[in-house]
Chain A
Amino acid sequence: MFLAGDDGKPRPIGELIGNNRQALLAAIPFAMATGMSVSDVGPARASLALPWREDLVGDPRSGVLHGGIITALIDNACGTAVICSLTEMAGIATLDLRIDYLRPATPGETVVVNAEVYRSTRSIAFVRALAHHGDRDKAIAHAVATFMLGANKAPINRNIASEAEQSA
């Protein structure tokens, strides 16, 4: 089943989802448990935001967020960007994810991750992402990831909200 716009041409989910973009995370318990939200989407990109929270801290002396929650946010942002790039419903699975930690996150500040699919084939999506506090020149982390498309052969549900999945 292809997703089509008013003119019948296939359109990526990132274009069609519009104001319903929070649905991309609503079905992901860990994203909800940590306070992630979708701040922007496009045809092959997604931006996620994560406000600072005490239970996400890695070093209680400084209040700096744990690297692991940055990893999780980046992983989720990359997966969401891949979903946004699809014109046809498909399961996705992260193959690998490399993260360079450029500087610590600033305690108390919201982390934003911009992720974009910069190359997509029938079976693989190549994604890059940047985590920052609003200034991309002072990035917290840079990441590249690859995803397999058409993974997790689960029953297809035509409801976009339930398709807002993030592979393991």
Chain B
Amino acid sequence: MPDPAPLPPLTPLNNDALTRLMQAIPFARLLGIGAITGDDGKIVARMAYADHLIGNPRLPALHGGTIGAFLEMTAIAQLLADMKGLSLPKTIDITIDYLRSGRPRDTFAHAIVAKHGRRVANVRVEAWQDDPTRPIATAHGHFMLPEAPDTATEA
């Protein structure tokens, strides 16, 4: 067990806050994941290429698990941005479709929140490398949301 390190304050979730949040997640650091928020509030996440992300050295291709983890993290980052970051949503389920093998280079992803309910959100995510119109993987998943402020018990 590590010493409990508090997550950084998340409100408002501007680029600095988002970067700090990603930096505070050890597994995001291992995968080299960062994200920026556009003017429209939409996140573009990036997984910077590193040799240890390879799953098949002969092709070579990124490990499918790194792509799945990256898609999941992008969905959560978009939800955090939308919610102004209360606390981390929890993944209920995620389905990943692998379309093309991931080449040894940077990977990008963005998420669409198809439905943001009171307790559950449905999110679609897409990852690409050179060409956003040729995704290498897509995913959709359900995420349990932290209690909204208007329903949370006042401390």
Chain A residues near B102 (CB, 8 Å)? 168
User: How far does the Cβ of B15 sit from chain A's closest Cβ, in whole Å?
Assistant: 21
B135 to chain A, nearest CB (A): 13
A1-9, A10-18, A63-71, A123-131 - interface stretch? A63-71
A154 close to B59 (CB less than 8 A):
yes
State whether A94 and B64 are in contact (beta carbons under 8 Å apart), knowing that A29-B52, A67-B91, A100-B93 are contacts in the complex.
Answer: yes
Residues facing A in B1-51 (CB within 8 A) are: 1-2, 4-7, 24-31, 51
Known: A66-B27, A97-B68, A101-B90. A168 touches B7 (CB 8 A): no
Per the bound structure, the CA–CA distance linking A107 and B26 in Å amounts to: 14
Measured in the bound complex, the distance between the Cα atoms of B66 and A108 in whole Å is 22
Decide: A168 and B67 in contact? CB cutoff 8 A: yes
Complex contact B4–A60 (CB within 8 A): yes
Q: Is A116 an interface residue (CB 8 A)?
A: no
Q: Which of B99-118 contact A (CB under 8 A)?
A: 101-102
Give the interface residue-count category, chain B. Answer: 35 or more
Q: B56-67 CB contact bits vs A (8 Å, 1 = yes)?
A: 111101111111
B25 contacts across to A, CB distance below 8 A: 57-60, 66
8 Å CB contacts to B: which residues of A84-107? 93-101, 104, 107
Chain B residues 64-112 with CB under 8 Å of chain A are 64-70, 72-73, 88, 90-98, 101-102
Q: Is the CB of B70 within 8 A of A166?
A: no
Does A160 sit within 8 A of B, measured CB to CB?
Answer: no
Instruction: Closest A residue to B140 by CB, please name it.
Output: A98
> How many Å lie between the Cα of A108 and that of B101 in the bound state?
33
Cα–Cα distance between A162 and B56 once the two chains are bound (Å):
10
- Which residue numbers of A lie inside 8 Å of B, CB to CB? 27-34, 54-63, 65-69, 71-76, 79, 93-101, 104, 107-108, 152, 154, 162, 165-168
